[in-house]
Chains A and B, each alone.
Chain A
Amino acid sequence: MKVWQKPGFWLPLVIVLVWGGAVLLIHQDTMRESAFVLLMAVGLASSLNILLGYTGYVSFGHIVFFGLGGYTGFYLLSEQGWPLFASAIGGGLLSAFIAGLVGLAVLRLRGAYFALATIGINEAARAFVSNFEPYGGATGMFVNFSAYQKYGGPGPALWTTFTFLWITTMVVLVASYLVKHSRFGLGLLAIREDEDAAMVMGVKAPKAKTITYVISAFFPGVIGTLYFFKNGNIEPGDAFQLHMSIEMLVMVMLGGMGTVMGPLVGAVGYQWLRGYLLTSPIFKDLHLAVAGAMLLVIILFVPAGLVGWVRNHVQRLQKVLE
């Protein structure tokens, strides 16, 4: 196995493996909750990075796939009595399917037009789900209590959900690495640099972009199902928060877009910072403003993100950080 000799491949994976494994071993509820939030952020940021970092297409409303997938998975789980694993995959597949349909049309737009269209899709989906009766309309759905029984009650069910999320996060990281280092991924990087030139050189841009969009939509759908099952309820306001979508972008940017390690570093860094600002007595009223100021400094002065900056400045780490 050649990939195992590449630290860029196994380093992020080992970090998540040890981290999640430690949480499972220590078996403490508060620790699981904070690890859940962090791993979810890592998974969402990494799947967004597959589209944003490799093709350069800015999906501002990527949270729509989290919401739609989450809704579908939740419906399958709670109303139809599917097992958690199958519903999560079902949620992911629906997101991927929608991304395939929408992507064919929307990915023809470039730059800011694409960004605007994704915002529109998110808002349209939110408004549609608020009116869609099978999904509970504006009030949303509550989990059917019998869904917990399969996993031995609510407590153990939360641990099962965490384990699934942990595995999903690792799968996202593997997918991110494999996409980046495949022939397909090289085509994507070419699209990012100059789409017209890439097409002249024989990259089938529309197809490649749509496949990437589908991949990066699948995982948020899975994660959405797990998250809303953990919460016990789902409603349109929580599922399609534009704000969360932008937080995902910030995480990718903070860590370094187009790198496998970046979203991991960015997501953990962002959530840690947010937690610190929210609880610190000096900043708690101004936490949003302070976070905004930091974001601005990073955009203006460190546009490559933390991982990108380290890669550019420390030669020896270039092989370790992918």
Chain B
Amino acid sequence: MLDQLISSLTDGLLLGFVYGVAAMGLTLIWGVMSVINLAHGPVIAMGMFGTYLLFTHLGVNPYLAMVPVAGAGLIAGLVIYVIAVHRVINAPHLSSLLATFAVNMIIIGVGTAVFSTSPQNINYSLGSVEVGFLTFPASRLVGAFGAILVTACLYLFLYFTRAGKAIRAVANNRMAAELMGIPSSRVLALSFGLGTMMAAVAGGLIATFFPFTVLSGGPYELKSFVICVLGGLGHPLGALVGGLMLGGLEGLIPTFMPVSWVPVVEFGLFVLVLLVRPSGLFGAK
């Protein structure tokens, strides 16, 4: 019993790292410009398909493929920001929600026309790892490692580079940052690009675990909302912790009750946290 409990918990936690990366993109965008990016799910799906195409057609190792996928995600984010988000950045929330949702529709629409909605998978196995009584696929371990690497890079970027400091300044107070000579439009565009880059990388990592379709991004987008709220909207590190919590819950709940109850607990918790502590479990009061 205990063995089973620990093994499903580890499984969930390893997955949680990757959920955390997806959520980090969303929370970064929210923290900097107070926009909820509803195009997050399709970008995750784009990351999945980018990795898939590079692997099946060019034979690139899926983990190496994540570098060009990240680059493409960054560029896609810049383009989305310039076309769809920049004009509504100061408009009421409904405008930016619907503008990013329009982008969502465009990506899904083109994606369905190109790839159809049949499931694909990346046929690349690293075998499995045994630690004591625990056995899990090595891809999960590499995925978790990749997630930690991405988080570390994001932190180094935000705290030790000029551009990263500019992002933090704009997130803190856009007006004051502008008065200090920071070009806020460019910083906002960069943050949006970074957010979608994280989503694309998370998509690539998820694609090495599970089969996927064009529509697969949706569930991860919803999970990202839950994670962001658990960790506090706008806190990248909180997103990683929130991701671990969600992954842990997903691992643990099925040992106590039927799997179909998982979303009830997840979204119930989500609404509860929003009501009791909208700043997140770890956010400042």
Q: Given the complex, which residues of B lie within 8 Å of A124, measured CB to CB?
A: 263-264, 267-268, 270-271
- In-complex Cβ contact of A116 among B88, B113, B274 (8 A): B274
Contacts of A123 in B (CB 8 A): 222, 263, 267
Within A289-322, which residues are at the interface with B (CB < 8 Å)?
Answer: 289-293, 295-296, 299-300, 303
Asked if A276 is at the interface (CB within 8 A of a chain B CB), the reply is: no
B278 touches A113 (CB 8 A): yes
Judge whether B88 and A299 touch: CB under 8 Å. yes
Inter-subunit contact B229/A290 (CB<8 Å)? no
Return A287 CB to nearest CB of chain B, in Å: 7
Shortest distance from the beta carbon of B22 to any chain A beta carbon, whole Å = 16
Distance to closest chain B CB from A191 (angstroms): 13
Given that A111-B93, A119-B222, A253-B94 are contacting pairs, would A295 and B113 also be in contact in the complex, using a CB cutoff of 8 Å? no
Q: Could you say which of A56, A115, A249, A291 contacts B109, with CB atoms under 8 Å apart?
A: A291
Known: A121-B271, A130-B260, A295-B102. A289 touches B93 (CB 8 A): no
Contacts of B98 in A (CB 8 A): 246, 249-250, 253, 295, 299
- Complex Cα distance, B99 from A246, in Å, reads 12
Chain A positions within 8 Å of B92 at CB level: 56
Within 8 Å CB of B260, what residues of A? 127, 130-131, 138
Residue-wise, chain B 91-103 has the 8 Å CB interface mask toward A (1 for contact) of 1111101110111
Q: Which residue of A lies closest to B84 (CB)?
A: A296
- Determine whether the beta carbon of A285 is less than 8 Å from that of B264: no
Interface size class of B (residues with CB under 8 A): 35 or more
Q: Are A127 and B264 in contact (CB under 8 A)?
A: yes
**Are B105 and A288 interface neighbours, CB within 8 A?**
yes
B104 on the A face (CB < 8 A): yes
Q: How far is the CA of A257 from the CA of B99 in the complex (A)?
A: 16
Q: Give the docked Cα–Cα distance between A116 and B97 (Å).
A: 11
Does A99 lie at the interface of the complex (its beta carbon under 8 Å from any beta carbon of B)? Answer: no
A128 is an interface residue with CB less than 8 A from chain B: yes
CB of A106 within 8 Å of the partner chain: yes
Task: Provide the bound-state CA to CA distance between A198 and B197, in Å.
Answer: 42
Which residues of chain B are within 8 angstroms of A108 by Cβ–Cβ distance?
275
Are the C-beta atoms of A120 and B271 separated by less than 8 Å?
Answer: yes
The closest CB in chain B to the CB of A131 belongs to: B260
Q: Judging by beta carbons under 8 Å apart, are A58 and B110 in contact? A: no
Choose among B225, B229, B267 the residue that contacts A127 (Cβ–Cβ < 8 A). B267
How far in angstroms is the closest Cβ of chain A from B98?
A: 5
A286 at the interface (CB under 8 A from B): yes
Closest Cβ–Cβ distance, residue B172 to chain A (whole Å): 19
Q: Is B112 an interface residue (CB 8 A)?
A: yes
Question: Contact: B268 with A119, CB < 8 Å?
Answer: no
Distance in angstroms between the alpha carbons of A287 and B113 in the assembled complex: 9
- Map CB proximity to B onto A85-127 as digits: 1 under 8 Å, 0 otherwise: 0000000000000000000011011011101110111011011
Contact for A286 among B84, B93, B110, B263, CB less than 8 A: B110
Most buried by B among A106, A108, A116, A128: A116
A297's nearest neighbour on chain B, judged by CB, is B102
Return A296 CB to nearest CB of chain B, in Å.
4
**A121 to B264 alpha-carbon distance, docked (Å):** 10
Query: Which residue on A lies nearest to B114, using beta carbons?
Result: A285
**Counting CB contacts under 8 A, is B261 at the interface?**
yes
| B278: A residues at CB distance < 8 A | 109, 113
Q: Is A270 an interface residue (CB 8 A)?
A: no
In the bound complex, do residue A292 and residue B274 qualify as a contact, i.e. CB atoms below 8 Å apart?
A: no
Cα A71 to Cα B262 with chains together (Å):
21
Known contacts: A116-B225, A116-B229. The answer to whether A289 contacts B105 by CB under 8 A is yes
Instruction: Give complex CA distance A113, B229 in Å.
Output: 9
Residues of A within 8 A of B84 (CB): 296, 300
When the two chains form their complex, are residues B101 and A246 in contact, meaning their CB atoms are under 8 A apart? Answer: yes
Check: A141 CB closer than 8 A to any chain B CB.
Answer: no
CA distance A117 to B272 in the complex (A): 9
Q: Is A52 at the interface (CB under 8 A from chain B)?
A: yes
A65 proximal to B (CB < 8 A):
no
A60 at the interface (CB under 8 A from B): yes
B184 within 8 Å of A (CB atoms): no
| Bound Cα distance A291, B222 (Å) | 23
Closest residue of B by beta carbon distance from A291: B105
Interface residues of B in 100-136 (CB under 8 A from A): 101-110, 112-113
Closest B residue by C-beta to A117:
B274
The smallest C-beta distance from A48 to any residue of chain B, in angstroms, reads: 12
Residues of B within 8 A of A109 (CB): 274-275, 278
User: Are the CB atoms of A112 and B222 closer together than 8 Å?
Assistant: no
Q: 5 nearest interchain CB pairs?
A: A289-B109, A292-B105, A288-B109, A127-B263, A124-B267
**Chain A interfacial positions (CB closer than 8 Å to B):** 52, 56, 58, 60, 105-106, 108-109, 111-113, 115-117, 119-121, 123-124, 126-128, 130-131, 138, 246, 249-250, 253, 257, 285-293, 295-296, 299-300, 303
Beyond A52-B94, A290-B109, A299-B95: 18 further Cβ-contacts under 8 Å?
A106-B274, A108-B275, A112-B34, A112-B36, A117-B274, A124-B263, A131-B261, A246-B98, A288-B109, A289-B105, A289-B106, A289-B108, A292-B105, A292-B106, A295-B101, A296-B84, A299-B88, A300-B87
Q: List 5 A-B contacts (CB under 8 A).
A: A109-B275, A127-B263, A138-B260, A249-B94, A292-B105
